[in-house]
Structures are given as C-alpha cells and as structure tokens.
Structure 1
C-alpha cells in the first residue's frame, strides 16, 4: 500500500509526511504533559486526543501536499531531475520545512502565553509585524531560536537525502498512471477535510485543555482567520427581533429613564437628581491586572500596594467582571458600554466611526477628550477607533510606519520624553509623565477634560527601567506588576501637587485579567478585575459588592455626577441595580456568556448553548438543564448588541 501511495517520484512527499507527523506528535505530546495537571486523565481520552489529533494533522498536511502532488503529476517524465525541477523542489522543500518547524516551535511559546493552539490572537498579531517581532525578540533568545530552526531544517533535509528521498524523486520513470493514485489520495483528503471538517469538531471533551491539545495548530490558525468576524445570526441562537428589543429595553432601563422612541433602539434619557458636577475625569486602563493580584482578594505577596490602598480610599467595585480577555475587548466595553460582539471587537471592525460612546456624553457636557497610549496606536486599530469617535490622540508614533490621516489631533510622545521603551511602547512612567504634562495644558484652557489612558508595562516581555524595583527588568510578570504599581504611585504623588487634582476624578479599571485559560469553556474567575472611582467629591469611600460589568462603570460615574444625558448604552448605574438586575456579560472569541449569581449560560457558535451552576470557591462549572428564561435573557443582550452595531443603531443621530 505504501508503494502505491508513495512511488519513487513521491519519495520526498513520503519524507515530508513522516517529518510533519513526527513533529506534530512531539508537539502534541509536549503540550499534553505540560498541561497534565489540568487534564482529566483517562487512557481512553488519551487515545482519543492523539487519534483525532492525527486525523487533523493529516488533513492539515493535505493542504500542503495536494499542490505539490499535482505538480508531480503534471510534470512529464522527461523533465524529472531537470535543473528547473531540482530548483523548484529543493527550494520549496527547504522553505516549507523551515516554516513548518517554525510554526511548531511557535506553538510552544503561544501555548505558554495563552494555553491555546493558534487562534484569533495569532491572526490579529500577524497584522502588526513590528510589535510582534520586537516582542518575540525581547522575550526570547531570537538568534538562538533561529539557529535551532536552521539546524532542524538542515538535519531534516540531510535525513531525507540519507534515505535517498531526493535521489529517488529525481531519478525514476514513474508514469502518469502510477502518479494518479497518490495525487488523488491527497486531493480526496483535502476535499473531504475542507468541505466536511470544522476545527470545532476536535472539541470532544468537557476539559478545554484536552480540546486544544487535540487540534492542529496550523489548521487552527487558518480556521481562526476564516472565522475572525462572525455574523451573530448565522452562528448563534436567535429570537425574533421585535421580541428581543421589547425585552432588552426592560433590562437596560432604570426607574427614572425615559425611552426616546419605539423603534429598534435602546435610546433613552437618563435622569439624575441634584446639581450636576463637572470635574475633570481621568480613566486609567491597567494592563492585565487581575483582581487576584490584590490583597483584598487573598494575595499575600504585596505586589501592588498602591493599587491595593485604593480599596479604602475609593468607591471600590469588588465584583466587577471584564467582558473579554483582550485589551480591545475592555476598550469596547468601557467606551461603548455594550456586550461583546462575537469573534471581533468593534474597535477592530469596519464602520466603527461616529458611534455613541462615553466620549459623546462628555462632549455633551463640554469636555475635551483625549486618548493616551504609550505605543503606536495603529496597533489593534486603536487610533482609528478613538479618532473617528471624537478623541484626540497622544501616542508613540513610529517613524517607520506610514499612518492614515486621523480625524482629530495627534500628538507624538517624543524621543526626549522617553527614558525606556520596549516592543509595546514607552514604560508606564513615561506615559504618566506625558499625561501630567498634557493635563497641565488642558487645565489652562479652563475647560473640563476627559483623558483615557491605556497602560502597557504589565505585558510580555515584562521589561521596564532598571533600578526602580527589586526585580530585574524582563524577569517575570511579578516584576512588571511591581513596576506598574511603582509608576502608578509616582503618578499620583505628582498629580496631588497639581492645581487640577482636587477637581479631578480618577476611574481605574483593568482591561482584562492576566490569565484567561481554564479547564471549562469559560474560566469565570479569569474575568474578575479591580475597579475604582477615586477622588469623588462628597462621597465616602466604600465597597460595592454587586455583580457588574465593565459596561457599567461609566454609567455609574455619570450617576455620581448627577448627569442627565441621552444614552444608547447597555450598561447601567450599578447603584440603581436591584439584586435581580445584577449580571455580568463575559465572553471569549466564540463563546458568549451571561453570569447571574451562580448561574452561567454560554451561547456557542453552533446555535447551541450550555447552562451551568458556577461554584465560586472552586471555580467549577456543573452542567445543568437549560433554564429557558435565562437563555432568552442571554440572547436578548447579545443579539440586540450585534443587531444595533450592524444596522448602525449605535451611530450618532440614529
């Protein structure tokens, strides 16, 4: 049988098949033992993981070998071993082999960061080569890795030569009829796999680590590319839109709100009693600071003491959840106060200009609006999103990159303002210094300002200025957290001496948690983030323990400021929530969840759902019979959020 599938002309195909499947097996075995503590081990599951995984590897392999097989099929016998044949074959084999080995090694680093096979994050990062290459270079010994790749490629070619794979490929007289069978073999595998197999079909287990290990990383990458923007109506359970809008209006409307119209909209007036206050507002997005890093939630390492101290100086939201697992998900939730749209954040979607954001509310009240980022805001489309929604931009513009013309003012963090920077931009200390400088200018304009700051130091490669803390730069996340806290502390010490400080409110929320992977399809404890409103006049510091979401933080601030304003938000003032209203919308790339108390419903992109009871102490999910009313409430949130965005219901003037 092997001779039929791999005649002499297909000797190199045989060598590549063996090499690919060997590397794939080694990587899968490595990931298996790497994650052994998280796996629900059984011998049957072990067999399933590697059996299904082998089929996915074979399918992935067919995408590579089908085209080469067709080349081998159509090239006449008289050209076997010709100069052109040797150049095309040797060059292609070496390049494909190199990138194959590179992808397998890259899977290990990706797994170390995300505990996932390649997914939408890998796809997104492919668009930002500068940041990603620099991050890899600063996080790992890149020359050493490239050396390993070259050596591994060289050894693989040498082994193929030793097995006479190259010699036999060029020196044979195989006819068209001999070559047609192996060619059809790979074509049939490719056709069957491409038309009938989805990446999600590898997910046969309740344990998410086992599901991910079963997959093929290369195939997962291209599957993520194809599903990087899902249409809710095509992939998720739906309800007639008239029903969803009627019910979502009841869910988002508070007692004193007044709906503006009866069409497919949630627009309403939010009424708050009392004299309106108009302090300056500075929002600080803390990169990857999980609630579990705080002493208040049991951490005894005292890593972030200044951030910890806010617990007793602020309005402290102890049960606030992030909507997603990436910075742009946090930005989407905080600026638009909307449940996450499936697969891709609105920050990165097309037609995301002129939306009703928190910036529009600030504009109604006479504020300037500025977005601060220490890196090049081209990354993840942040600058285009904020600029096209009325924010001025202050970032670290890269000289190597041509930038699209922005709709608002853009100010560069200049070289003389930088003491340290890495792949993601300047360190938090330099970013805060720029904020202080610009706030001084804004204060002189005698107009209230709203500044949106996104930090980045607490991100791999975890590098920062030396000598500031007791952990050397680039060591680990704990060092990055300590520096994050150091810069945060320095910022507030200097801000307190500014003439604008007394009349400035600070909203501090993490964009997402540091770690999101878990055994279940949504790891609930990895959405809990710290959130504070600090320096609010006439308000006594206190804890608010209501279950809430990032989408609620600014509606809550507007409530404290007694603002009456037009709203198009799903988010609500947390203080107006009754126990039955408490909820959090938590999601990842394809799973959309609603959490209420110990109940969690997750919509998946196969028009199905799972309903769980969540045990907070152990973070375990126990599958339950679906609660129909709970299912409908989940659909109301996500379907209407998607519908409003796609049909421009979030636009200004809609």
Structure 2
C-alpha cells in the first residue's frame, strides 16, 4: 500500500473529518469562554477536567458524519469506479451536514443560557408553531448575533468545502491494486468504527460518563451539543415496574378503589357546596426565588405587590411546576396530570384523541363560564385546538386586541390582558353566571423586558428587574380593580408560576427552574395574615384543591390531591431528560442516562448521598415512577376524562 491518501476521495474524507473535529473544538472553547463565570473552580481547572472527555464526544460525532460518504466511497473505490460524477452530491451532503452541525453548535449557546443544559430534542416542542417561532427569532434582537454567526459560518463553510473538493479534483489519483484497496478500506473503516464508539474499545461512550463532578457546569461542559441533541432523541423509559404493581401502589396512596383506573375516585365533600368564581393567573417564568419575602437579598424587591397579596393568602413556599415549559404549566395546572418526559402534553396523538376533564371541564359541567386569556396567537402550543376541546368556551388571544395593545413579538402587554379579562368577568357576573377565567401573562418571558407601550415607569435598573416589576404592578393593579367589584369577595384567586428560571446552578436539576410561586387568595373566607405553608405541592394539585375549596362533588381521574386534606410527602417534576423528587429536606434526581443523585437540601457541600441513603432514594424514586407510569397508562388507554367521554 503506497499511501493511505492514495485515493483523492479518501483524502477528502480525512479532511472533512478533521474539519468536523476542529469546528466542535472551537465551540468547546467558545462555550467555556462565554460561561466562564460558571466555572466556580476557575477556567483552567474546568479545561483540564473536561477537555480530554470532550474529544471523545467530538470524535463520536465526526465519525458518524463521515460514515455515509465512507460507505458510498468504499463501494465505488473497491469496484474501481470513478466517483467524479457524484461530486455535486458530495458537495451537497457535506454542506448540509455541516450546516446542521453549525446550527446545533450555535443554537446551543442561547439554549444553555436559559435552560442550563446542552441542547436537546426539547427544541421540537415548538415545531407545531413554526411561523410563530420564526417570527419570534427574527424579531428579537437578542438572537441577531446568532443568526449572523450562522449565516457567516454557512457562507465560509460552503467556500471551504468547494475549495477542498476542487483541490482534490486537481490532484492526480493513484492507481492501487485491488488487494491494497481492501487494506485501505479496512483500515479507514476500523478507525471510523473506533471513532463511532467515542474512541473506546470495549463499549460506546455514553452521556452519563459526563456526570462525574459535583459541579453541574462541569458535567455539561465536555458534552458536544450535537451528541446531546442526537442522544436525546431516544425516549425516556417510563415502564419502571409491572403495571399491576404500580397501579396497586398508586391506588393505596390515593385511596382509589376503581379496578379499571389507577387514579379515579369520587369525591364527596362534607361541607355545603359553594359557587365561587375562580380566577387563575398563570405567571410567566415566576420562580419562587424572586420573592423578597421568602428570599431576602437574592433579588431586589421586584414582586413586592405579589408578596403583599401572598401575606394574606395561602402561600405555598414548597410548590413545584410540572415541567420547565409553559405548555407543561398550562396543562398540569388545568388538567391535573404531570409532565411526561420530553413530551408536549397538548400536541400528541393521545392528547388529541381524548377529552380531559380537569378543572375547566368539571367547572363547565357545573354551569361555569370558562375563558382563557393569552397574549400570543392561540395557535402557539396548539392552544387553539386543545383548549376549546377541553372545557373552555372561549379563548381570547392577540387577535382580539387593537394594534396599540401589542408590545412585542409575543403579543399583548399584561396590563391590556388584565383589563380585557376584568371586563369579561364583569359581564359574566352581571348575568349571575359563575366564571372560571385563566389569564396567562407574558412580560417576564425571555428576554425579560418591560413593554414599550406602557405608561408605568419602573424604578429598577435592569430590563430583567423592570419586567418583573411591571408584571407585579399589573397584578397589583388587577387586584385593586377587582376589589372594587361586587364579585370580589365571592372569588377564589390563584397565582401560580408556569415554571421558574434556573437562576442558580445549584444541582444537576436547578431547583429554581421548577420552584414556583403559588398562592391562593380567598377574600370572602377571611383576610388575615397567614404564614407560608411548607408542605410539598404540585401544579397537578390545583384542580382537586380548588374543588375542595368549592366543596363540590366531582370525579377525580388525576394523580393530583387536595393539599389541605391529602398532604403529599414528595413533589416530583420534569426537566425534560431529568426527573426530580423533592421533599422538605431531600432532593432525588435521576436522568435518562442512568445517573442518580440524592442530596440533603440544607447541606452546603452538595454531596451526593445516594450510597449512604439508598433505601430513601429508592423510596422517593418509586413515588414518582409509579405516578408517571400510571399517567402514561391512563393516557394510552384514553381514560383522562369522564367515563364515556
């Protein structure tokens, strides 16, 4: 064999393999530099701790990208056929795969900035609203640097790819005997196979190998965004145990005796029924961490009006969102089911093929007028299809407002949303009809900034603080207006964050991402000061808890529980590829890659105590596993609503 580079197309493959490695290495250093403040032990220590491992993940991606061309080339080369006629095909393939690689590497930067994890299939959650997402990306200046970087990179890549291919065309091919060709084929093929295993001999590199450090940032740093994305395409397994065993355990916890349904129980309250109006305000990105009442010093007093309202409400200081996306918050708060791992709850086939009772459907059956107010286009998150089919009579979106009410690409400012909702509540009350109104705020959505069409002027300095202060002002103004209405004292107000924000990378699953603000205010049932309630509470508990306040009989087909009558030992939540279970003092985390963690919440060392308290970890895991497995079972068997629906 005269040379490994005897074929110009083999030489081309090697060049592109090296290019894939170089591009990924460049973004490794760029990611480290951008997030250098997260490297708590210093940038140099982070580099030396993770660089070697990052090469294995990069090698995996570069090798897989090379395989299609290797197969195509090897068949033609061994057979002695020219590949020149396929030049344009090769050019197109390399340009497309490198463009997609660049998209993942660039998109990973803002994705990590918000979610504190490398990019995953969670970006697919918005595929159902492509026009809305394109509009949002192109209208938000925060994304312009990334768009420019992609366009520039794509242009340079195209020029580079064409240059490399022309260079190989100009080089003279060398004729090699068939036997030597087979040796070259096997050598390059074995090298690619070794690379496809991440440079490992005995087994392929796995995602969980990155989760070795106690520092969440170091666990993310070595992973190639492309590896993270493709690895996330596999489903999060929810078949944890035998269905019959899981059902029996869930029924024992909930007190359900229905042989054909794990959750179903007919609730018969002991008190007299009430027909209070219900107003639920779903607050965008409202982490409990922004409350100066509970966390003085962490942030300025940017939600002091909400804190003041909370001081005379049932204020749940240990409340958790079902997931980390607004669609999870809407679905779980209204319909009482937890977030299924890596799944859009309102855009699946099984969601579209059944009716969910939940709070809207149950109240509608009791004669309530049900309305959903959102700032954006109702087509986003499939609300326009799912919401009317599941208990809401009307959905009021951006198209119902005049142009001057629009604040940005997300649609209507919070103050206009609240004003329109108040007017609708007045109309319902005037007819003597009880109403259930959901108001979904938007102004604290990323990138958090106050709207330009408001007369309110915040005294805070940063756009982030001003956005939260603005929403706080809108909520306070809404309550001031509502307090002047005759229906105020006969209304139950619920304020809940749809999800939080990962302000602090404290654990592999940042708690502030799911630890949300939750309060229930009932002016007609007393207006005294109340201490925060510290028991674990989930968004799925809102449906049965509100029905308990109303003292109305109903059928509960969800795993949610009335927090005042059925306190739960743990809350569980999803962060897409991670499942977390939290109690008053412990936190259990597991991810789809097999890594498990157990922490004591007041332990500043953040030591993983899994081995020391394995039985506790298993107990916490089983609590969540059973509920999620049975939720999956209920959804698959189309049993989420009333019997026969």
Band the TM-score falls in, shorter-chain normalisation: 0.7 to 0.9
1:409 is aligned to none
1:172 is aligned to 172
What are the equivalent positions in structure 2 for 1:470-619 lying under 5 Å apart?
470=457, 476-515=463-502, 518-541=505-528, 542-543=530-531, 544-577=533-566, 581-605=568-592, 609-615=596-602
**Counterpart secondary structure, 2:334:** helix
1:287 Cα shift? 0.4
What are the equivalent positions in structure 2 for 1:425-440 lying under 5 Å apart?
425-440=411-426
**What is the TM-score when the length of structure 1 is the normalising length?**
0.84
1:532 Cα shift? 1.5
1:23 Cα shift? 2.3
1:641 is aligned to 631
1:225 is aligned to 233
**Counterpart secondary structure, 2:477:** helix
**Counterpart secondary structure, 1:532:** strand
- Structure 1 residues 356 and 147 mapped into 2: Cα distance closer, same or farther (>3 Å)? closer
What are the equivalent positions in structure 2 for 1:72-471 lying under 5 Å apart?
72-73=73-74, 85=87, 87-140=88-141, 145-155=146-156, 166-174=166-174, 178=181, 180-181=185-186, 184-185=189-190, 188=193, 192=197, 196-227=204-235, 230-233=236-239, 237-238=240-241, 240-253=242-255, 259=256, 261-300=258-297, 301-352=300-351, 353-396=354-397, 412-414=399-401, 416=402, 418-463=404-449, 464-466=451-453, 468-470=455-457
**Counterpart secondary structure, 1:232:** coil
- Structure 1 residues 495 and 478 mapped into 2: Cα distance closer, same or farther (>3 Å)? same
1:653 Cα shift? 0.1
- Counterpart-to-counterpart distance in 2, 1:173 and 1:565: 79
**Counterpart secondary structure, 2:356:** coil
1:19 is aligned to 19
Contact 1:325 1:516 in 2 (8 A): no
1:25 Cα shift? 1.3
- Structure 1 residues 607 and 90 mapped into 2: Cα distance closer, same or farther (>3 Å)? closer
- Structure 1 residues 582 and 467 mapped into 2: Cα distance closer, same or farther (>3 Å)? same
**Counterpart secondary structure, 2:614:** coil
- Structure 1 residues 577 and 80 mapped into 2: Cα distance closer, same or farther (>3 Å)? closer
- Counterpart-to-counterpart distance in 1, 2:73 and 2:619: 59
- Counterpart-to-counterpart distance in 2, 1:144 and 1:261: 56
- Structure 1 residues 631 and 123 mapped into 2: Cα distance closer, same or farther (>3 Å)? closer
**Counterpart secondary structure, 2:372:** strand
- Counterpart-to-counterpart distance in 2, 1:149 and 1:318: 43
Uncovered stretches (5+) of structure 2, i.e. residues with no partner: none
Uncovered stretches (5+) of structure 1, i.e. residues with no partner: 254-258, 398-411
- Counterpart-to-counterpart distance in 2, 1:474 and 1:23: 39
- Counterpart-to-counterpart distance in 1, 2:142 and 2:227: 27
RMSD of aligned alpha carbons? 3.6
**Counterpart secondary structure, 2:382:** helix
Contact 2:214 2:607 in 1 (8 A): no
1:639 Cα shift? 2.7
- Structure 1 residues 263 and 466 mapped into 2: Cα distance closer, same or farther (>3 Å)? closer
- Counterpart-to-counterpart distance in 1, 2:599 and 2:460: 42
**Counterpart secondary structure, 2:282:** strand
Contact 2:319 2:538 in 1 (8 A): yes
- Counterpart-to-counterpart distance in 2, 1:616 and 1:530: 23
- Counterpart-to-counterpart distance in 1, 2:245 and 2:541: 24
- Counterpart-to-counterpart distance in 2, 1:6 and 1:472: 70
1:283 Cα shift? 0.6
1:285 Cα shift? 0.3
**Counterpart secondary structure, 1:15:** helix
- Counterpart-to-counterpart distance in 2, 1:3 and 1:369: 75
**What is the TM-score when the length of structure 2 is the normalising length?**
0.85
Between 1:286-295 and 1:344-353, the stretch displaced more is 344-353
**Counterpart secondary structure, 1:555:** helix
- Structure 1 residues 73 and 57 mapped into 2: Cα distance closer, same or farther (>3 Å)? same
2:614 is aligned to 626
- Counterpart-to-counterpart distance in 1, 2:400 and 2:560: 33
- Structure 1 residues 437 and 563 mapped into 2: Cα distance closer, same or farther (>3 Å)? same
- Structure 1 residues 172 and 183 mapped into 2: Cα distance closer, same or farther (>3 Å)? farther
**Counterpart secondary structure, 1:453:** strand
- Structure 1 residues 587 and 559 mapped into 2: Cα distance closer, same or farther (>3 Å)? same
Contact 2:278 2:492 in 1 (8 A): yes
1:513 Cα shift? 0.8
Contact 1:66 1:183 in 2 (8 A): no
- Counterpart-to-counterpart distance in 2, 1:278 and 1:20: 64
1:621 Cα shift? 5.4
Contact 2:56 2:198 in 1 (8 A): no
Contact 2:404 2:453 in 1 (8 A): no
Deviations 1:147-205 (A, max 9, x none): 4444444555666777x663224543245854735763576358657995554454344
- Counterpart-to-counterpart distance in 2, 1:516 and 1:302: 16
